[in-house]
Amino acid sequence: MSQSIKIKNALISVYYKDGLEPLVKLLAAQGVQLFSTGGTEQFIKDLNLPVTAVEDLTGYPSILGGRVKTLHPKVFGGILNRRALAGDQEQIAEYEIPEIDLVIVDLYPFEETVKAGGTPEEIIEKIDIGGISLIRAAAKNFNDVVIIASKNDYPTLQAQLEAQNGETTLAQRKSFAKTAFHTSSHYDTAIFNYFNTEEPLDVFKQSVTEAKTLRYGENPHQGGVFYGDLDAMFTKLNGKELSYNNLVDVDAAVALIDEFEDPTFAILKHTNACGIASRPTVKQAWVDALACDPVSAFGGVLITNVEVNLETAEEINNLFFEVLIAPSYQPEAVELFSKKKNRVILQRNEVELSKKQFKTLLNGVIEQDKDLIIEGPEQMTTVTDKAPTEQELKDLFFANKIVKHTKSNTIVLVKDDVLIASGVGQTSRVDALRQAIEKAASFGFSVKGAAMASDAFFPFPDCVEIAAEAGITAVLQPGGSIKDADSVAKANEKGIAMVTTGVRHFKH
């Protein structure tokens, strides 16, 4: 197998020209013959460098509105011929095909056109044919050919050619080929997922080009990588890099806060809300959220849906926390938080989130639609003799939002738009309720007059009886148990209002 190869001929055809000039000038200075097409050809001519049009090489013009430019044996023969194979060399000599040692090409902006809301016709025209074929051909023949499929690789190739007198090694060419196949596979995945929306095929394809290596995973002995564009999602104003556990909590925090429109503050620990309140001002929302469970709040992830001002920041500053997320901050608030360098202060940007979620499971991947439903008072059906009051309906709605984002089995207790306690992740719904009642009492909250939400139906009336004895006056549950009537009868017996929604919100 050949090792170092000197570049003699290069085909350059790119959509974006930025960053290309220094590399093209170097190639020309090293005596490389340049072949090009269309706009790239003109770009090279404007640099006063010699360039040969692909049309002159093939004897065919660009046709079909530019759809066919490079698809020709004199181009692909020059790329795919094996230098060490006598038969290949005889054929390229017979047909006067130049050996192409370097291909620099990028792809039409398909993803960008989709994101920009292009018409179906505009999107289809951004499916690259010639470019993707050039990438695959050159990458396949990496033994003899250099493929550059990303402008990010221009500086690397330039440094290699400068240091090695216009030559590349086999290892370098193989590395460029790996990057090129990543480019082509990502591109094809984006195209497939665009088409796979109506009557979708049951296949799983995802490709994410951004990656961030984490300090470690869930525990220090586990490696971890985040695949995604965090910089698009957040502007980090202060603090250390986010950890695996931080990211999991931040994801839960964002999902929860998006349920609320009024000024709201939430505190999360291990993805569950340990405090949340909606109030007329952000400061009061923070104070009341913290009061729910100031012990669990220590080291938590904080999030609000309104700007954090200095007055509120001074209150928050008294607590040790890991991450704070808000849509904006007063400059003075950021200055205050920045006095502790490890605190992560994130300003959330407007980014459309996926409506799908997936994770590895057993020997495969499990995917589902996100739980995007939330039932308000208009979806609540009163099933008891006593109907909930207007404030109870409001509190049941508030509690239902929290229940949706809390680990099952869960019970959530709310009073006046404030979480006063929850029972989280219990194997028994009775245990979840008792945990919530006991926790509320431990922080000085009375559950008398509180609203209670359950993420699933009651198979027995025991939870209703316990709630009534504690003074809870309104209950929300999805319904659907074959013994619903027993729970309704118990609620009527105890004078409790009960509503059903018909929607279950398990979160495992």
Rounded to whole angstroms, how far apart are CA atoms 300 and 91? Answer: 69
Copy the structure tokens of residue 20.
């290309």
Residue with tokens 């006593």: 386
Residue 202 DSSP code: S
Tell me, letter by letter, the H, E, C secondary structure of 80-119.
HCCCCCHHHHHHHHHCCCCCCCEEEECCCCHHHHHHCCCC
Residue with tokens 């017979």: 94
* Diameter of the chain measured on Cα atoms: 98
Burial degree of 64 (CB within 10 A; 0-12, 13-18, 19+): exposed
Tell me, letter by letter, the H, E, C secondary structure of 429-464.
HHHHHHHHHHHHHHCCCCCCCCEEEECCCCCCCHHH
Q: Which of 6, 140, 182, 386 is catalytic?
A: 140
Active site residue 270: yes
**Interstrand relation of 225-227 and 211-213 (parallel, antiparallel or unpaired):** antiparallel
Copy the structure tokens of residue 275.
């405090």
Rounded to whole angstroms, how far apart are CA atoms 7 and 21? Answer: 18
Residues 6+ apart with CB under 8 A from 90: none
464 in Cβ contact with 496 (< 8 Å): yes
Rounded to whole angstroms, how far apart are CA atoms 397 and 51? Answer: 69
From the list 299, 257, 305, 297, the residue with the least C-alpha distance to 281 is 305
Rounded to whole angstroms, how far apart are CA atoms 279 and 379? Answer: 24
According to the model, what pLDDT value does residue 387 have? 97
Q: Which domains does the chain have, with CATH numbers?
A: 5-196 (3.40.50.1380), 228-348 (3.40.140.20), 377-500 (3.40.140.20)
User: What value, to the nearest 5°, has the Cα angle with vertex 81 and ends 76 and 86?
Assistant: 150
According to the model, what pLDDT value does residue 104 have? 96
Q: Which of 8, 270, 386, 507 is catalytic?
A: 270
What is the mean pLDDT for each group of 10 consecutive residues in the chain (508 residues)?
Answer: 83 93 95 92 94 85 78 88 89 90 94 93 92 95 96 95 94 96 96 92 91 93 94 95 95 97 97 97 97 96 98 96 97 96 96 92 94 95 97 97 96 97 95 96 96 95 96 96 95 97 94
CA-CA-CA-CA torsion for 15, 18, 22, 28, nearest 10 degrees?
20
User: What value, to the nearest 5°, has the Cα angle with vertex 155 and ends 151 and 159?
Assistant: 150
According to the model, what pLDDT value does residue 66 have? 74
According to the model, what pLDDT value does residue 1 have? 45
Rounded to whole angstroms, how far apart are CA atoms 282 and 418? Answer: 13
437 in Cβ contact with 471 (< 8 Å): no
Active site residue 182: no
Rounded to whole angstroms, how far apart are CA atoms 393 and 380? Answer: 9
Rounded to whole angstroms, how far apart are CA atoms 51 and 68? Answer: 20
